[in-house]
Amino acid sequence: MKRDIGRLKSEKFDILVIGGGINGCAIARDASLRGIKSALIEKNDFACGASGKTTKLIHGGIRYLEQFNFKLVYEALHERQILLRTASHLVHPLEFIIPVYKNGPRSLLKIRAGATIYGWMAGKGNLQCHRWLKKNELISLEHNIDARNLKGGVKYCDAQMDDVRLCLDNAISAYEAGCCVANKIEAAGFIKKIGKITGVEASDKLTGEKLSIRASIVVNATGAWSNTTVRMDEPKVPPITRPTKGIHIVYRKLPHERAIILSHRFDKRIFFVIPWRNLSLIGTTDTDFAGSADEVYACADEVEYLLEETRRVFPGESIDRKGIITTYASLRPLVNVERRLAWQVSREHLIRESRAGLISVVGGKYTTYRHLAEQVVDVALRKLADMNFKKCISALIGPSSKVQNNASLRRSVEYAVKEEMANTLIDLLVRRLQLSNTPSLGLDCLQECAGIMAGLLGWTDAQKDSEIRKYREEIRRNTDFFNNPCLVS
């Protein structure tokens, strides 16, 4: 996968997708697989926003049953089955436990009914029949959780994923299907003719070059940046997305074998403690956010919110900030709905077309990205009705993957730079090699990686030192959360 700026400038595309998160990459892939001449641009890097900072789950969303959102749950369970089949190298089954305590926010009857309905809705795609658990049965499965006031619970199965790699693989698959793909290209405005959008004015953040990209249809898949993007088209349009902040804690391995779903006593919100790469992943929060979408980090209050309830469920463990490896945070681009708590806003997506023809998509769960992409491309095809394209095949063919397993560090870096469009140390260590969330934080190989990248990309000593400083600062912001403002609106 290589940046072809010359092609971006010289050709006219049927569809130009702005945004290299999972939705944008999947839309570009779906369109390209149908034979549509497509381009995908991303101002930073693929999966650098919410798509690379999730709870790492492909799931139906059992909690949405409480909101009677059966349509979303059914869709997500169907998509889970497709991803388990077409992306099995990145998506695999994971067992879950829901313990229920006396005086908890949800009754044992309610939890058992929810699990029953959830399994029924999964139908043939059910990974494992749910099981009601008595107190002693639950303790025998997870004997380190708090047994005091425990009434029982349920066990069921969903799936875990590698969110960053799944997003990258969609971008790579789009490229292999003929899409012109480029990161570090920022859309600055729209080109219009007789009131209709005919392309994008953009800039190359690596070189500073300005370029005009021509396209019959432009799709806005910029996630938490969607409000900014639509206002480049319609300056006075109301916000179409309500970004809510979610943080996660990467913690030392806690004594649990399965994912555990907890309800916080303060606001009843559900969150997870999940086994992940020999560590535990704790998250997430869900709060409205008033800051910049480019500067989203965990703060001390949010960290303590998650630790407090985790501490209660694992009374035999000393759970404090010393066990934290790092944190990460992002903004969910939910559909703008007022007068509802952030965590109660639906995860369904919305496809909107402006008078000038800009197609915007907001909302959605990671799990349903493939179906979302199919729907967006279907909308675009109605505007390209005079052209003959193939049918959607993304449910049959999963994204390609060429991960360099067991390769040396040098070979891994070379592959990431030459084949996966890694242009910075943050691109490399956070997303291609994913070392920033390991106990070493990637600092043990930082200098070596910087040296290899400098040779490949022609960095000067000053550029190399700047890249090292930027990566160290990113690590500091994710570990020194005491000094990060929460910026809750």
pLDDT tens digits, 41-80: 999 999 999 999 999 999 999 988 888 889 999 999 999 9
Q: Which residue has the higher pLDDT, 334 or 139?
A: 139
Residue 344 is predicted with a pLDDT of 47
**Token pair 């996660």 in the structure block, residue:** 248
Q: Identify which of 307, 260, 16 has the alpha carbon closest to the alpha carbon of residue 154.
A: 260
Burial class (CB in 10 A: 0-12, 13-18, 19+), 481: buried
Using the structure block, give the residue that is written with the tokens 């999964």: 122
Average confidence score pLDDT of the chain: 93
Residue 385: pLDDT band with limits 50, 70, 90: confident
Nearest CA among 245, 269, 246, 241 for reference residue 337: 241
Separation between Cα atoms, residue 340 and residue 363, nearest integer Å: 15
User: What tens digit of pLDDT does each residue of 336-377 get?
Assistant: 865 555 544 555 788 999 999 999 999 889 999 999 999 999
- Name residue 132's beta-bridge partners: 154
**Closest Cα to residue 437, out of 484, 474, 486?**
474
How far is 436 from 124, CA to CA, in rounded Å? 38
Q: Which residue did the predictor score with more confidence, 448 or 342?
A: 448
The amino acid at residue 264 is H
The whole-number pLDDT of residue 338 equals 58
- For residue 320, what is the DSSP state? S
Specify the pTM.
Answer: 0.95
Distance, in Å, from the CA atom of 360 to the CA atom of 84, rounded to the nearest integer, reads 28
Write the single-letter amino acid at 126: N
d(CA 81, CA 44): 31
Cβ(30)–Cβ(374) below 8 Å: yes
Query: What's the rounded Cα separation, in Å, for the pair 419 and 163?
Result: 19
Using CA atoms, how far residue 402 sits from 32, 429, 437, in Å, is: 19, 18, 22
Contact (Cβ atoms closer than 8 angstroms) between residue 360 and residue 352: yes
